[in-house]
């Protein structure tokens, strides 16, 4: 076969190192971001903490509704990249002297940190690493990759030629620890873990069959029904179910860093010119600058000298810009949320309006994925405590006027109706639905029941029993308080002791 040299032109999408870094930094929470900047300060001599920067003084209004505080308390139990629109700004100079960098560093690795360590240590082609980084940044807190590869390509504006590299990167990611990471859903996660077990393990084949085809039956139907469908004995089914239950359904939640014991807010709620808005905190905008003394000294040297230091200087200038750009993006999203939910900060849940990621993305003029990454694991500090930004994104319920009402507002109405009801004749779910309908809110009885249960409100039967019990207790307390030693009435042998002659038990 004759040999020949040919020249082919192909298109290949690559992500620059700085672009990758920017995507990672945007999705970080305050603790992870603090650790990232702390490491940059330690490794780059061209960076320094600006001790002279002053934090602008802001005055907050303590008149936020008390309902906001109660909503925030319920939200604390619940918890990351981005497109190319990063906002504007070139420096990072805000902060306050009380911000402690070391206090923000997590004591344990997060899931993403653990996976990035494996990326660095694994024997992978260099061109594969940035693709796996994209996938790592797209995992949810459970360790699942719920977005299809084609959707990620659209989100990051990578072009169709990136589908192949991303799919190969996903195959590599699914071999990482913890087992099950990169799964699409629960069944996929469990199957990934079963595939790592020895085929000779008892009941392994049956467990795989259940996970692939009958997982819903395992959760919602009697075991005998599943045994009949699979044509196995109860003992065999019990063994397979025990094996499945030994797996980890949400591997990402095993990492302490995914659920920190403390929360550092990226935003604070402030009142400016009579309106509520959100501003980036010192945690989101740390006081990091380029060391100008070193930069000036380097500028006086020959252009070809000190190549490594010049690279560090370029990196330092980019980090300072990236810090400000990240803070600006977070702040712009926060401002849009505050603008959308002005009524909430005045009146609480009852004034919370339906809001979606698309609504905020349109206001800020960024992609929905940017808003999603900003909102996830970010918190705002209010005069009444911390709130997750996720709290402000609520679903809608239709009304008779054609306007949408938020589910949180409906819950607040239900709570208000229950609070005002007669204790002896509480409202049933049917009655609550009818009362809401009179207010123009169309919800089914089962929806009322679901919302009531979610708020921890008992059924009307239990509320009536509780009210009757309290009534009896109150009457008992009143009669007991009237039964003083000088006013004891005792019936004995048909004779009533008079108050002036109290009954005294006989001795001996």
CATH classification at residue 420: 1.10.10.60
- Looking at residue 9, its pLDDT comes to 60
pTM of structure: 0.49
Instruction: Judge if the upstream peptide bond of residue 72 is cis by omega within 30 degrees of 0.
Output: no
**Residue 153 contacts residue 192 (beta carbons within 8 Å):** no
Mark whether 227 and 281 lie in a shared domain: no
Look at the chain and report how many structural domains it folds into.
4
What integer is the mean pLDDT of 355-372?
87
**Residue 276 contacts residue 58 (beta carbons within 8 Å):** no
Mark whether 282 and 376 lie in a shared domain: yes
Mark whether 298 and 406 lie in a shared domain: no
> Does position 104 have pLDDT exceeding 50, yes or no?
no
Distances (CA, A) of 136 to 78, 253, 379: 21, 15, 22
Of 372, 390, 408, which marks where a domain is finished? 390
- Looking at residue 338, its pLDDT comes to 93
> Does position 288 have pLDDT exceeding 70, yes or no?
yes
- Looking at residue 488, its pLDDT comes to 36
- Looking at residue 331, its pLDDT comes to 95
Both tokens of residue 422?
Answer: 């007669």
* CA–CA distance, 35 with 18 (Å, rounded to integer): 18
274 assigned to some structural domain: yes
List the helix and strand counts (H, then E) for the chain: 21, 10
**Residue 172 contacts residue 124 (beta carbons within 8 Å):** yes
Q: Which of 93-97, 154-158, 403-407, 453-457 has the highest mean pLDDT?
A: 453-457
Which tops the pLDDT comparison, 45 or 439? 45
Q: Give the domain range for residue 227.
A: 187-247
18 assigned to some structural domain: no
> Does position 453 have pLDDT exceeding 90, yes or no?
no
Mark whether 407 and 365 lie in a shared domain: no
Mark whether 343 and 314 lie in a shared domain: yes
41 assigned to some structural domain: no
Choose among 75, 1, 42: nearest CA to 393: 75
* CA–CA distance, 85 with 92 (Å, rounded to integer): 18
């Amino acid at each position: 076969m004759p040999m020949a040299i040919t020249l082919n032109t192909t298109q290949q999408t690559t992500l620059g190192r700085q672009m990758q870094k920017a995507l990672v930094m945007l999705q970080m929470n305050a603790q992870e971001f603090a650790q990232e900047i702390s490491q940059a300060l330690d490794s780059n001599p061209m960076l320094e903490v600006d001790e002279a920067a002053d934090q602008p003084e802001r005055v907050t209004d303590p008149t936020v509704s008390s309902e906001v505080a109660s909503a925030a308390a319920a939200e604390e139990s619940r918890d990351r990249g981005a497109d190319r629109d990063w906002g504007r700004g070139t420096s990072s100079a805000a902060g306050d002297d009380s911000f402690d960098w070391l206090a923000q560093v997590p004591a344990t690795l997060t899931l993403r940190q653990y996976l990035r360590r494996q990326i660095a240590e694994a024997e992978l082609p260099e061109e594969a690493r940035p693709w796996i980084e994209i996938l790592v940044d797209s995992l949810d807190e459970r360790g699942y990759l719920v977005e299809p590869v084609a959707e990620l390509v659209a989100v990051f504006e990578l072009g169709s030629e990136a589908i192949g590299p991303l799919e190969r990167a996903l195959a590599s990611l699914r071999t990482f620890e913890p087992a099950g990471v990169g799964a699409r859903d629960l069944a996929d996660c469990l199957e990934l873990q079963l595939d790592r077990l020895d085929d000779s393990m008892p009941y392994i084949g049956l467990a795989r069959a259940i996970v692939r085809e009958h997982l819903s039956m395992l959760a919602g139907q009697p075991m005998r029904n599943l045994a009949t469908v699979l044509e196995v004995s109860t003992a065999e089914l019990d063994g397979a179910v025990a094996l499945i239950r030994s797996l980890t359904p949400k591997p990402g939640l095993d990492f302490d860093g995914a659920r920190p014991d403390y929360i550092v807010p990226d935003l604070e709620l402030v009142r400016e010119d009579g309106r509520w808005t959100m501003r980036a905190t010192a945690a989101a905008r740390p006081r990091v600058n380029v060391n100008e003394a070193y930069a000036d000294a380097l500028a006086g040297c020959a252009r070809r000298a000190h190549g490594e230091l010049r690279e560090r200087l370029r990196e330092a200038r980019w980090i300072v810009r990236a810090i400000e750009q990240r803070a600006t993006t977070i702040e712009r999203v926060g401002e849009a949320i505050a603008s959308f939910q002005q009524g909430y900060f005045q009146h609480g849940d009852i004034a919370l309006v339906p809001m979606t990621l698309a609504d905020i993305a349109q206001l800020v003029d960024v992609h929905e994925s940017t808003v999603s990454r900003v909102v996830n694991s970010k918190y705002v500090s209010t005069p009444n405590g911390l709130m997750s930004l996720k709290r402000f994104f609520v679903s809608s319920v239709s009304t008779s006027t054609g306007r949408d009402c938020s589910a949180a507002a409906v819950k607040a109405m239900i709570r208000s109706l229950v609070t005002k009801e007669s204790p002896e004749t509480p409202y049933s779910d049917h009655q609550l639905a009818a009362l809401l309908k009179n207010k123009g809110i169309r919800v089914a009885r089962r929806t009322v029941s679901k919302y009531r249960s979610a708020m921890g409100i008992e059924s009307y039967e239990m509320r009536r029993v509780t009210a009757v019990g309290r009534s009896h207790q109150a009457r008992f307390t009143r009669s007991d308080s009237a039964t003083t030693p000088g006013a004891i009435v005792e019936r004995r042998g048909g004779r009533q002791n008079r108050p002036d002659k109290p009954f005294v038990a006989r001795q001996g």
